[in-house]
Structure 1
Amino acid sequence: MTAQIAHLFALGCLAGIFFQIALIAGAPLGPWTQGGRHPGALPLSGRALAALSIPVLAAQALAILSAAGFPGLDWPRWTGWAALGLSVVTAALNHLTPSARERAVWAPVTLVMAGLAAYVMIVTP
C-alpha cells in the first residue's frame, strides 16, 4: 500500500511539473499561481520561479519514492522528511494565498499531497 501512496504523490508532483512547464511556455495561468498577481501569462521573473520549481518537485517525488522503498533509489531518509516539510509549507501557503483561484485548485491538491507524503513517512520504517 505504501508504494501505491508514494506513486500517487509522485503523480501529483508530475502534474505540478506539467503546470510549471505550461507557465514557462506562456500559458495564461497567472491567476492560478504565485498569488494570482498576473492576469495572464507570467512575466519573465515568474517564469524563472516556475522553472526553479521543476527540480524541487522532481526531488520531492524521488525522495518520497525512495522512502517507500522504490527499487534503485536509496536516498537518505531525511530527504523524505524534507519533502514532507516542503509539502506542508506549500499547502499552508496555498491556503493563505490572496488568489481565490489558487486557493480553490492548489490548496486541496497540495493538502492531499502533504497527506500522502505524511503517510509514506509515518508508515515506513
Structure 2
Amino acid sequence: MLIQIAHLYATACLAVVFFQFALIGGAPLGPWTQGGQLEGALPIKGRVIAAFSVPVLIFQGLAILSVAGFPGLDWPRWCGWAALGVSTVSAVLNGITLSARERAVGFPVTLVMAGLAAYVMISTAR
C-alpha cells in the first residue's frame, strides 16, 4: 500500500509538471497560477518561475518514491522531508492566495499531495 501511495504522489507531481510545461509553452492559464493576477499567457518571468518548478517537482516525486522503497532509489531520508515541506508550503500558499481559481483547484490538489507525502513519511518513521 505504501508504494502505491508514493506512486500516486509521484503521478500528481508529474501532472503538475505537465501543467508547468503548458505555462512555459504559453498556454493562457495565468488566472490559475502564480497568484492568478494575469490573464492569458504568463510573461517571460512567470514562465521562468514555471520552468524552475519542473525539476523541483521531479525531485519531490522521486524523493517520496525513494522513502517508500522504490527499487533503484536510495536517497537520503531528508529528501522526503524536503518534498513534504515543499508540498506543505505549496498547499498553504494555494490556500491563502487571492485567486479564487487557484484556491478552488490548486489548494485541494496540493493539500492532497501534502497528505500523501506525510503518509509516506510517517509510515516509514524509524
Q: TM-score range by the shorter chain?
A: over 0.9
Matches within 5 A, 1:104-123: 104-123=104-123
Aligned residues: 125
Matches within 5 A, 1:55-70: 55-70=55-70
> Normalized against structure 2, the TM-score is what?
0.98
Give the counterpart letter for 1:124 in structure 2: T
Q: What is the alpha-carbon distance in structure 1 between the residues aligned to residue 77 and residue 27 of structure 2?
A: 36
Q: Deviations over 1:31-78 (max 9, x none)?
A: 000000111000000000000000000000000000000000000000
Q: Deviations over 1:59-115 (max 9, x none)?
A: 000000000000000000000011001110000000011100011001000000000
Q: What is the alpha-carbon distance in structure 2 between the residues aligned to residue 77 and residue 4 of structure 1?
A: 18
Identity of aligned residues (%): 73
> Normalized against structure 1, the TM-score is what?
0.99
Q: What is the alpha-carbon distance in structure 2 between the residues aligned to residue 120 and residue 101 of structure 1?
A: 29
Matches within 5 A, 1:1-125: 1-125=1-125
Give the counterpart letter for 1:10 in structure 2: A
Detail structure 1 runs of 4+ shifted over 4 Å in the superposition. Answer: none
RMSD between aligned residues: 0.5
Gaps of 5+ in 1: none
Gaps of 5+ in 2: none
| Displacement after TM superposition at 1:124 (Å) | 1.3
